[in-house]
Amino acid sequence: MEKLGIIGIGMTKFGKLSNESLIDLGRKACLSAIHDAGISPLHVDAAYCGNGLASQLFGASTIGQSIFWELGLKGIPVINVENACTSGSTAFHEACLSILAGVHDIVLVVGVEKMYEAQVGMLSSGTAEIEPGLGFLVPVTFALRAKAHMDKYGTTPEQLAMVAVKNHYHGSLNPLAQYQNILTVDEVLQSPMIVDPLTRLNCCPIGDGAAAIIICRGNMVARFTSSPIWVIASILGSGLYNNPPILEHWVLDYEKSKKAYEQAGCGPDDIDVAEIHDAFTIAEIMHYEGLGFCAEGEGGLLLESGGTTIGGRIPVNTSGGLLAKGHPVGATGVAQLIEITMQLRGQCGKRQVKGAQLGLAHCMGGDKHGDTKSITIHILAK
């Protein structure tokens, strides 16, 4: 596809940010991205806001207009996007399409969420579907996937725990991560059980935070930067909802990553660094396989070998991932893209992947009939 350049990024710290409102967080991330790009807000032709839960938690809507008004962005198209965990990365995808369609030249994307102050049961999964009412809640679905993967491939509880250990180590190197503490396998295994075999430290936390990116039409990038990061693949899909459901892997991972690699003109072996959806530890192991980083059933072995740790063959979730960096739902997909951008720019300090030229950001959102409701895959190049 035509190249699109990322010319600005900005992000708040993730965590319990009680003194900052949803709008405050979004504004700060956007201002940081605008400053990083070295542009005026008047350069922005359109703006997209990804938010997953504000309407449910606070009864709030049209979040984007409120954020962008504080930046002086008025009279431009503002699009609000809700797509569960992929709300931010879906907004990014739609922003890319608007440029490729020739409608806009420079687009601002923000993902924002505030979850700590909400007095709502976060694991209710809503009332619009029959599955949550029958107890098929999100942690349950991932626990069933873990059991299926363990039964078929021999994946162990210790390997699940190693995902959390790795990602907390990476998070300890990231000043914007929600958790910067180092864990041991025993600490993960001995934390309170949520749904067998997933203990609390096998599960991502809730959080507050915002992340913003500015995208520019390729032939205009040189006006703003001599070293952009290029978007060379952008894929969005939704579930297949097989009956009976396939639990030991996501078919969508295989199908959509194949399309992303074809669009980018590369393969999984060419990826230098990846951010993937690790809401629960089993998910990261399964995504290794679905994205082609290893053969099906060998995700646990790849992890155990150190291949996905910084310094390994394919470092994954160098930011700390959802498990340590945090998971303010609407911000997550954009934050993943920011981590990849920073890695390709060489700006990650102690967690820098040496020589990174090509990075992948993968996110999944929602659950229905044992499948995901949305998936995004983006590939970025230096």
Mean pLDDT of 127-144: 74
Contact between 215 and 106 under an 8 Å Cβ cutoff? The reply is yes
Rounded Cα distance, 278 and 300, in Å:
14
Rounded Cα distance, 185 and 183, in Å:
7
Nearest to 34 by CA among 43, 23, 22, 21: 43
pLDDT band at 200 (very low <50, low <70, confident <90, very high): very high
Q: Which of the following CATH numbers is that of domain 4-119+207-231: 3.30.710.10, 3.40.47.10, 3.40.50.300, 3.40.50.720?
A: 3.40.47.10
**pLDDT score recorded for residue 125:** 53
Nearest to 168 by CA among 139, 138, 140, 191: 191
Residue 130 has pLDDT above 80, yes or no: no
Torsion angle, alpha carbons of 378, 340, 171, 303, to 10: 60
Contact between 348 and 356 under an 8 Å Cβ cutoff? The reply is no
**pLDDT score recorded for residue 131:** 64
Mean pLDDT of 51-70: 89
**pLDDT score recorded for residue 123:** 47
Q: Where in the chain is the domain with CATH 3.40.47.10?
A: 4-119+207-231, 130-204+233-381
What is the CB neighbour count within 10 angstroms for residue 137? 18
Nearest to 79 by CA among 102, 50, 105, 100: 50
Residue 68 has pLDDT above 90, yes or no: yes
Alpha helices in 11-86 (DSSP H): 22-37, 54-58, 63-70
Amino acid in the structure at residue 111: G
Nearest to 204 by CA among 303, 317, 48, 68: 317
Strand, coil or helix: 171: helix
Rounded to the nearest 5°, which phi and psi values hold at 374? -150, 150
Owner of token pair 């914007």: 176
**DSSP assignment string, 202-239:** GBPPP-BEEEEEEEEEGGGGGGT-SS-EEEEEEEEE--
Residue 119 has pLDDT above 60, yes or no: no
Topology (CATH) of 130-204+233-381: Peroxisomal Thiolase; Chain A, domain 1 (3.40.47)
**pLDDT score recorded for residue 178:** 98
Owner of token pair 């893209």: 337
Helix orientation angle between 138-153 and 281-290, rounded to the nearest 10 degrees: 60
Between strands 273-275 and 358-365, the pairing is: parallel
pLDDT in tens, 324-372: 999 999 999 999 999 999 999 999 999 999 999 999 999 999 888 878 9
pLDDT band at 128 (very low <50, low <70, confident <90, very high): low
**DSSP assignment string, 295-357:** -TT-HHHHHHTTTTSTTSSS-B-TT-HHHHT---HHHHHHHHHHHHHHHHHT--GGGPPTT--
Residues 6+ apart with CB under 8 A from 176: 11, 12, 13, 14, 325
Mean pLDDT of 24-30: 97
Mean pLDDT, all residues of the chain: 94
pLDDT in tens, 203-220: 999 999 999 999 999 999
Residue 56 has pLDDT above 50, yes or no: yes
Amino acid in the structure at residue 336: Q
Rounded Cα distance, 229 and 3, in Å:
10
Residue 37 has pLDDT above 90, yes or no: yes
Residue 122 has pLDDT above 60, yes or no: no
Between strands 358-365 and 106-113, the pairing is: unpaired
Residue 273 has pLDDT above 90, yes or no: yes
User: Within a 13 Å sphere around the CA of 13, how many CA atoms are in the beta-carbon half?
Assistant: 14
Looking at the annotation, which residues are catalytic? 85, 327
Helix orientation angle between 329-345 and 87-100, rounded to the nearest 10 degrees: 60
pLDDT in tens, 208-264: 999 999 999 999 999 999 899 999 999 999 998 888 888 999 999 999 999 999 999
Higher pLDDT, 147 or 3: 147
* CA-based R_g, the chain, Å: 19
